[in-house]
Amino acid sequence: MEMQTGTDLFNLQGRRALVTGSGQGIGLALAYGLARAGATVVLNDLDEARVRNAAEKMVREGFKAEYAVFDVTKQPAVAEAVDHIEKTFGAIDILINNAGIQRRAPLEDFASENWDAIVNVNLSSVFYVSQAVARHMIPRQKGKIINICSVQSLLARPTIAPYAATKGAVAMLTKGMCTDWAKHGIQANGIAPGYFITELTKPLVENEEFSSWLCKRTPANRWGNVEELTGAAVFLASNASNFVNGQVIYVDGGLTSCV
């Protein structure tokens, strides 16, 4: 096996990464992180204008970016889109399952349509997209899958029990992918963000009481900036992590290390 050293270990030149739900927020920040390390990124989102504008902006900035509009919860559309990307753009070497939604309500009042939506977007999509991509990675005996988990993979909070249930399941699905696919040269790992400022957390950022509680609760004493997730993503997408499999890296300012 050829040994790489130093920054070569993290070089993503010549690799293509599909990042779901990457028209904005964490997904877009992760796409930038991988692109800065040399990868070609394929942005995905539901909103065509949003994802096209984001990809065009990246290209103007000198990065290699493409885009594909599809709904990660629709299995046949996912398989078609993945096949199309493989055929027209090229091999997907790295997949980041990032698309996710939040719905908040006391569990006793939680609407079943919101339960279905959360399970579909946060959990079923990870199965659909990963299976479609893994079917291409397996013959190549090589691939990196990164699942965006959450501190709610470990800890619950009032009004978001369904979200926590899906994120706990994604952490376990990550171990399952490792168990079934490690023998095919695929590494599947998770990144569990703490609290980062994005559209998804807007109601919390705007809630002064929550925000001040969170800063006291987090050893780092602050919210995270989305760029702070990119180091873990580049590590898990690169040769630096070739024997790391089934793990979840918590990028949370210490939140899950302290009560």
Binding site for ligand NAP (CB under 6 A): 20-21, 23-27, 44-47, 71-73, 98-101, 121, 148, 150, 193, 195-196, 198-201
| Of residues 8 and 227, the one with the C-beta less far from ligand NAP | 227
Q: How far apart are CA 34 and CA 136, in angstroms?
A: 21
**Smallest distance, Å, CB 160 to ligand NAP?**
10
| Of residues 163 and 235, the one with the C-beta less far from ligand NAP | 163
- Residue 93's closest CA among 39, 22, 37? 39
Q: How far apart are CA 46 and CA 24, in angstroms?
A: 11
State the DSSP H helix or E strand holding residue 188, giving kind and residue range, or none if neither: strand 186-193
| Of residues 98 and 189, the one with the C-beta less far from ligand NAP | 98
Q: What phi, psi does 197 have (nearest 5°)?
A: -80, 110
| Of residues 52 and 184, the one with the C-beta less far from ligand NAP | 52
**Smallest distance, Å, CB 164 to ligand NAP?**
11
Q: Which residues contact 132 (CB under 8 A, 6 or more apart)?
A: 78, 79, 82, 83
Q: Is 163 part of the annotated catalytic residue set?
A: yes
**Smallest distance, Å, CB 86 to ligand NAP?**
18
Q: Which of 32, 67, 128, 163 is catalytic?
A: 163
**Smallest distance, Å, CB 240 to ligand NAP?**
22
Q: At what angle do helices 161-181 and 125-140 cross, to 10 degrees?
A: 10
Catalytic residues: 163
